[in-house]
Amino acid sequence: MPELRKDPIIGRWVIISTERGKRPSEFERARPAPKSGFCPFCPGHEDKTPPEILGYRKDNGAPDTGGWHVRVVPNKYPALKVEGNLDRVGDGVYDRMNGIGAHEVVIESPGHKDSLSTIPIEQFEEILWSYRDRIIDLKKDDRLRYVLIFKNHGEAAGATLEHSHSQIIALPIIPKRVAEELDGAKAYYEYKERCIFCDIIRQEIMQASRVVAENSDFIAITPYAPKSPFEVWILPKQHEANFENCQKHHYENLSVFFSEILKRMDKVLNFPPYNFILHTAPIRNGDLNFYHWHFELMPKLTRVAGFEWGSGFYINPTSPEEAAKFLREAKI
Amino acid sequence: MPELRKDPIIGRWVIISTERGKRPSEFERARPAPKSGFCPFCPGHEDKTPPEILGYRKDNGAPDTGGWHVRVVPNKYPALKVEGNLDRVGDGVYDRMNGIGAHEVVIESPGHKDSLSTIPIEQFEEILWSYRDRIIDLKKDDRLRYVLIFKNHGEAAGATLEHSHSQIIALPIIPKRVAEELDGAKAYYEYKERCIFCDIIRQEIMQASRVVAENSDFIAITPYAPKSPFEVWILPKQHEANFENCQKHHYENLSVFFSEILKRMDKVLNFPPYNFILHTAPIRNGDLNFYHWHFELMPKLTRVAGFEWGSGFYINPTSPEEAAKFLREAKI
């Protein structure tokens, strides 16, 4: 059983995924992702993944058969397990609990070579709907407190399979970075009685220098204090804490917008590897007036990592104003 | 002038080092470190670095000449500048100040191919003394609040020059991760009236399962909730908040101990790239009864980074107990 452990000093939880246990020799030198001809995510190989949790099919065909355009399946090597109890226990100064949760894979398209920046808008929209549908479903599990949705694109950004996919991890704790955002946003709200993200959007529109793109419902900005070059945040202009509570037309609009941002990034940075993370409110907190869902998108351009991990301190060689200008002016 | 900017939501400061300004094309694909024959850190090339700040020489020779065994010089491409005022200003919801501070390089040995795990113990001790001497000196600058000392070893861990060196960054702010440690340790002290690090050391000695090595003055453990596999902390057994306030024999003892830990890591993980960071108390806070200096050492074994950066959430495939066992039992 994987274990969730809490750092007693800074309060960060980590998963010790013992069943993925790696012996030292397995770490020796970062290995290239297996590039064998066989892909378990391709159509026709539906029996090579654990049974599907969700499948969108035009013909309403049976689960784990072909004809799908988006498929959500359990991760074959899950970092967390669905069965069991949390069993929170102390051990002297330490705290741990069982690694209860869900770890799922969203297979974003049947095409092995497809990527988010090139697939049709309708396909992109389906992926957003699958995120939403999974959050709604995972909310029903009382043990869970947060649904983390993210994508690693490209080997350098941590993708181990080439076929385009994102991941969903449902957790019995709130990840530290999200907890910090919630705390910071709440403190601001208590002082100003305004959502800090709404204030940021207003100021960014006024100043314009960090705006990458904008449409009626969404804005993309390079954040004022980015931890990495060309980091981009995509936010809904209208206040909403929970991604899963968007209006239908927002998903339509977001798929067009998100696709455009990825195309701009591909153009300016020559198809970079990247990560994105959906920051949305915890699933047990109801509608929050101080939080505002958004996507954080980070191209993987620099290699330095250990130092930043350890210090929480970042040196960024590109100003967000400059990055926004390049992205804004890209001819796509 | 570089700029320090604060994230308005989570309060993290980052350096926007505009003078290192990179155009998008410069990021295209992680480039290998330049492996030209010329090394500015080698003896005989003392005029190829900015004028030295500190040099240890057996013969008390002149600065910027040969005969040194450790040399500290300003970084040729500093992320921060020494001259000027902080000029803290607000900009709507945002905060920034001038990037005032010091950015120095410790050239750890004259030998181009030397590494910390192979140099003589006396040489290692000199490096520790240079860290201490620089902290003492930087403390005199009232604008500064923290001295961050770290090392990137190997290209994959972010080293851009092969010749063994560490870096010193003196900052007008306290890095987020250190601030979190200070806050957490303070809260624990207020509740228990004991240093949490002292309590951790006591529990680790009792449980023994995460102890890598121990001598009269130091202990090395794999932390209970490590963010990466084979992460190791080296702590003094006796309470002390400030690295620069150690007794003389502690530096001697630490050099033997630290060298041993690196040898164990080399043995088990086949000479991995790594980062280490000295966590010591801020320079303006006096003696803290709740904080306890230590080194955090992280071999760079996994590639995933962007997701962890963005979520503050870590999945670790190796338990600290297992990692400690491998390191403890290594024949060195």
pLDDT tens digit sequence for A221-243? 999 999 889 999 999 999 999 99
Give B69 to chain A, closest Cα distance, Å.
Answer: 25
Whether A305 has a pLDDT exceeding 60, the answer reads no
Predicted pLDDT at B312: 80
Q: Tell me: the pLDDT tens digits for B310-326?
A: 778 888 989 999 999 99
DSSP, collapsed to helix, strand or coil, labels residue A188 as: helix
- Chain A residues closer than 8 Å to B288 by CB: none
**Which B-chain residues 186-245 have CB contacts (< 8 A) with chain A?**
188, 196-197, 199-200, 203, 207, 223-230
* Highest CATH level, class, for B3-20+39-175: alpha beta
| Alpha-carbon dihedral angle through residues B220, B222, B224, B229, given to the nearest 10 degrees | 160
Which of A6, A9, A280 is the best residue to mutate to test the B interface, defined by the most B CB atoms within 10 Å of its own CB?
A9
Q: Tell me: the pLDDT tens digits for A135-175?
A: 999 999 999 999 999 999 998 888 889 999 999 999 999 99
Predicted pLDDT at B171: 94
Question: What's chain A's average pLDDT?
Answer: 92
Instruction: Answer whether A152 touches B (CB < 8 Å).
Output: yes
Give A328 to chain B, closest Cα distance, Å.
Answer: 13
CB B135 within 8 A of CB B40: no
Q: Which chain A residue shows the shortest CA-CA distance from B200?
A: A93
Q: Tell me: the pLDDT tens digits for B70-103?
A: 999 999 988 899 999 999 999 999 999 999 999 9
- Chain A residues closer than 8 Å to B21 by CB: 317-319, 322
Instruction: Answer whether B275 touches A (CB < 8 Å).
Output: yes
SS3 per-residue string spanning B61-81: CCCCCCCEEEEEEECCCCCCE
**Identity of the residue in A22, A93, A270 whose CB atom sits nearest the CB atom of B199:** A93
Whether the pTM exceeds 0.90: the reply is yes
Give A59 to chain B, closest Cα distance, Å.
Answer: 35
Please give the average per-residue pLDDT across B206-224, as a whole number.
Answer: 97
Predicted pLDDT at A90: 96
Instruction: Answer whether A77 touches B (CB < 8 Å).
Output: no
Predicted pLDDT at A58: 86
Whether A278 has a pLDDT exceeding 60, the answer reads yes
Predicted pLDDT at B307: 72
Chain-chain contact of B298 with A306 (C-beta, under 8 angstroms): yes
d(CA A157, CA B304) in angstroms, rounded, equals 6
**Identity of the residue in A9, A14, A179 whose CB atom sits nearest the CB atom of B181:** A9
Please give the average per-residue pLDDT across A301-309, as a whole number.
Answer: 69
- Chain B residues closer than 8 Å to A270 by CB: 24-25, 28-29
Q: Which chain B residue shows the shortest CA-CA distance from A279?
A: B311
Predicted pLDDT at A1: 84
Chain-chain contact of B27 with A301 (C-beta, under 8 angstroms): yes
Predicted pLDDT at A34: 54
Residue limits of CATH 3.30.428.10 in chain A = 3-24+39-175, 177-329
Q: Tell me: the pLDDT tens digits for B109-142?
A: 999 999 999 999 999 999 999 999 999 999 999 9
Q: Tell me: the pLDDT tens digits for A75-127?
A: 998 889 999 999 999 999 999 999 999 999 999 999 999 999 999 999 999 99
Residue limits of CATH 3.30.428.10 in chain B = 3-20+39-175, 177-329
How would residue A35 be classed by pLDDT, with cut points 50, 70 and 90? low
Give B135 to chain A, closest Cα distance, Å.
Answer: 17
Chain-chain contact of B177 with A10 (C-beta, under 8 angstroms): yes
Instruction: Answer whether A38 touches B (CB < 8 Å).
Output: no
- Residue with the bigger pLDDT between B180 and B305: it is B180
Predicted pLDDT at B305: 56
Q: Which chain B residue shows the shortest CA-CA distance from A196?
A: B9
Predicted pLDDT at A53: 97
Q: Tell me: the pLDDT tens digits for B267-286?
A: 999 999 999 999 999 998 88
Question: What's chain B's average pLDDT?
Answer: 92
Whether A285 has a pLDDT exceeding 90, the answer reads no
Whether B22 has a pLDDT exceeding 80, the answer reads no
Nearest to A254 by CA among A297, A288, A195: A297
Give B178 to chain A, closest Cα distance, Å.
Answer: 7
Instruction: Answer whether A303 touches B (CB < 8 Å).
Output: yes
Active site residue A165: yes
- Residue with the bigger pLDDT between A219 and B315: it is A219
Instruction: Answer whether A45 touches B (CB < 8 Å).
Output: no
Give B230 to chain A, closest Cα distance, Å.
Answer: 9
Q: Tell me: the pLDDT tens digits for B131-172?
A: 999 999 999 999 999 999 999 999 888 888 999 999 999 999
**Active-site position among B165, B239, B279, B294:** B165
**Homologous superfamily, domain A177-329:** HIT-like (3.30.428.10)
Please give the average per-residue pLDDT across B199-226, as a whole number.
Answer: 97
SS3 per-residue string spanning chain B: CCEEEECCCCCCEEEECHHHCCCHHHHCCCCCCCCCCCCCCCCCCHHHCCCCCEEEECCCCCCCCCCEEEEEEECCCCCCECCCCCCCEEECCEEEEECECEEEEEECCCCCCCCCCCCCHHHHHHHHHHHHHHHHHHCCCCCCCEEEEEEEECHHHCCCCCCCEEEEEEECCCCHHHHHHHHHHHHHHHHHCCCHHHHHHHHHHHHCCCEEEECCCEEEECCCCCCCCCCEEEEECCCCCCHHHCCHHHHHHHHHHHHHHHHHHHHHHCCCCEEEEEECCCCCCCCCCCCCCEEEEEECCCCCCHHHHHHCCEEECCCHHHHHHHHHHCCC
Instruction: Answer whether B297 touches A (CB < 8 Å).
Output: no
Chain-chain contact of B93 with A314 (C-beta, under 8 angstroms): no
Predicted pLDDT at A30: 47
Predicted pLDDT at B281: 97
Chain-chain contact of A196 with B8 (C-beta, under 8 angstroms): yes
Predicted pLDDT at B158: 84
How would residue B263 be classed by pLDDT, with cut points 50, 70 and 90? very high
How would residue B30 be classed by pLDDT, with cut points 50, 70 and 90? very low
Candidates 3.30.428.10, 3.40.50.970, 3.30.750.210, 2.40.30.330; CATH matching A3-24+39-175: 3.30.428.10
